[in-house]
Amino acid sequence: MGDASSAGGISAGGAAPRGSALRRWGPFTAILLALALFVGLVVRGGGESVAVDDTVPESGLMADLANVELPNGVLPFEVAEARGEVGDIDWGLRCDLETGRLRLPLSPPPSCFAPFEGDNGGATSTGVTADTIKVVVYTPQLNDPLLSFIYAQIGNDDTPQKVFDTYVGFNEIMARYYETYGRTVELIKYEATGSSADAVAAAADAETIARDIQPFAVLGGPNLTGAFAETLAANQVLCISCAPGQTAEWFEERGPYVWDIGKNIDQNIQMTAEYVTKRLAGGNAVYGGPEVVDQPRVFGRVFLEGLNASQEPSERFRALLREGGVEFAEEAAYADPVSLGGTAREIMARFKAAGVTTILFAGDPLAPQALTQAATEQDYYPEWVITGSALTDTTIFGRTYDQAQWEHAFGPSNLFARVSPTVAGAGYLYRWYFGGAEPPAQQSALILPNLQLLYGVLQGAGTDLSPEMFRRVIFASEIIPGSVIAPQISWGERGIWPGVDYAGLDDQTEVWWDPTAAGEDEIGVDGTGMWTYADGGRRYLPGQWPDSPPALFGDDGNPVALYEQLPEGITLPQYEPLPR
């Protein structure tokens, strides 16, 4: 997210994938079309006296900003202000001196850092010279059979070159505004030699990158095998969003080299179990269809097998549910979504016969097509509970499911309430800077966060850039607070998750499917049927899910499918872009 499975013969127009080629479809982290995370890191610690593994347990502990130790060359506006030095520094046109934030239409905008002058020390790490920071942008293979199959379902026409061109555009924006201490981020395109599930090709690609290109960092990776990230880490090359979802232990073993923006597997399991045991256990299936509605909930589970090399995460999930009084009356695992064409009817028949009122779904975003169709054919309309599986909570895929079934779908989502792209978001930022030009790739909302994370840490790392300093800075950075249109983001040991956290997103929201809502999906296509965010998109951290039944569908007093304007209390600063 390595296995040795290979692609098999899938094409956008016809032949189905074979065997185990799709066994790791579940996470789909690398094509989350709606994950527009706005990362603005502000260093809150560091310096030579701080050990690499030291972390800040909570944000806001560095109250004595005037005396905080910082890496060489680093001076955030907040620290300069505390020291009474703001007026002594020429902050340049990129900084709003009234707020101490960069003049970017982001919410919240990143802090200003003092422009660096002098000798940055030259080479400090592989891929870092006095003038450049070499960064590889991994793009999928042209006509990757697996991605082509997925894209064909949702009308996505992104190509590797469009993806890279979008990175280049956002990189220009970041370079104009962020401080990089005399160095320029040099993007290098690397196109995969195998499909997204080909572990052998992924490992070979990582070896080639590490040996021949020798970058400081890699952005992106094959989203169906962990071999790429594992090989980069073994070669001590840092990467961001380069692997599918893995356990917390997996990330810790590969620190400080592998970083993610979404949740890891353990975190998602913990949050889903909390939601089910607090919100649903012991209640009636009030959101089900005929025959099951208002019956005491009986739980079943459909899940994609082989998401990890071990079945331990699945066993931990069962154990957490059992502690909350939930047992499964029926379970069904599947190997890939295409195989469900022959087994979905049998699965739904078993669930119906077992009296299952409520199905927890944990798998890829294509499988519900076959499952919901099979359920309707059998006149069986259970509650469908999504469990944080990537892309099942996007409108673009929700519209491909049987709507008679999906009108009973709800559950926890790692995404956040959507805002019209005319008022905020990755595309908005791109158009603002480039005079109205659209980003080349439809998945621009995924591309921007990778660069924001990179540049945010570069600002905090100063002149002495290395993977170890990268970890020190990101672990000592403030917690990025969430809102109804953005998640809370943090890394390190913050008391939010057990152990050391190498994944960013902390919270969740509750959603339900409205088959009558009309509007644009995540790539701007108008249609009917949309995920609706309960209570305006209110978000919950671990331990915060209410211990009470949900109020969804007709019971939701503040439903939001899409904010046409920014929510009350959230503003987006308006600036003119710097001249190009």
Phi, psi torsion values for 375, nearest 5 degrees:
-65, -40
Question: pLDDT-based confidence at 144, cuts 50/70/90?
Answer: confident
- Lowest average pLDDT, out of 143-157, 277-291, 365-379, 417-431, goes to 143-157
Residue bearing the bigger pLDDT, 317 or 20 = 317
User: Among 54-58, 175-179, 385-389, 396-400, which is the least confidently predicted range?
Assistant: 54-58
Q: What distance in Å separates the CA atoms of residue 353 and residue 5, rounded to the nearest whole number?
A: 35
pLDDT bracket for residue 455 (50, 70, 90): very high
**Does residue 19 carry a pLDDT above 70?**
no
Residue 165 is assigned to a structural domain of this protein = no
Per-residue pLDDT, 244 = 85
Compute the mean pLDDT over every residue in the chain, rounded to the nearest whole number. 86
Separation in Å, CA 322 to CA 9, 233, 317: 41, 36, 9
Measured CA to CA, the distance from residue 375 to residue 382 in angstroms comes to 8
Residue 308 in domain: yes
The C-alpha atoms of residue 22 and residue 364 are separated, in whole angstroms, by 9
* CA distance linking residue 420 with residue 432, whole number of Å: 15
Q: Is 439 helix (H, G, I), strand (E, B) or coil?
A: coil
On whether residue 406 sits in a domain, the answer given is: yes
What pLDDT does 245 receive? 82
Q: What is the mean pLDDT of residues 388-404?
A: 91
> What is the radius of gyration, based on Cα positions, of the chain?
23
- For residue 20, pLDDT over 50 is answered with no
Residue 11, Cβ neighbours under 10 Å: how many? 13
DSSP string, 525-567: -EEEEEEEEGGGG-EE-TT-S-SS----GGG-SS-BS-BSSPP
Say if 527 falls within a structural domain: yes
Cβ-Cβ contacts under 8 Å for 87 (sequence gap 6 or more): none
Does residue 211 form part of some domain?
A: no
Least confident of 153-157, 251-255, 314-318, 507-511: 153-157
Question: Is the residue at 525 inside a domain?
Answer: yes
The answer to whether residue 36 scores a pLDDT higher than 50 is no
- Whether residue 230 is contained in a domain is answered as no
| pLDDT value at residue 146 | 66
How many independent structural domains does the chain possess? 1
pLDDT tens digit sequence for 200-249:
999 999 999 999 999 999 999 997 789 999 999 999 999 999 998 889 99
- Domain of 354, in residue numbers: 266-413+507-555
What the block records as the tokens of 534 is: 């309960």
The model carries a pTM of: 0.86
Domain harbouring 352, CATH code:
3.40.50.2300
Residue 369 lies in a domain: yes
- Taking CA 476 as the corner, what is the angle to CA 471 and CA 478, rounded to the nearest 5 degrees? 125
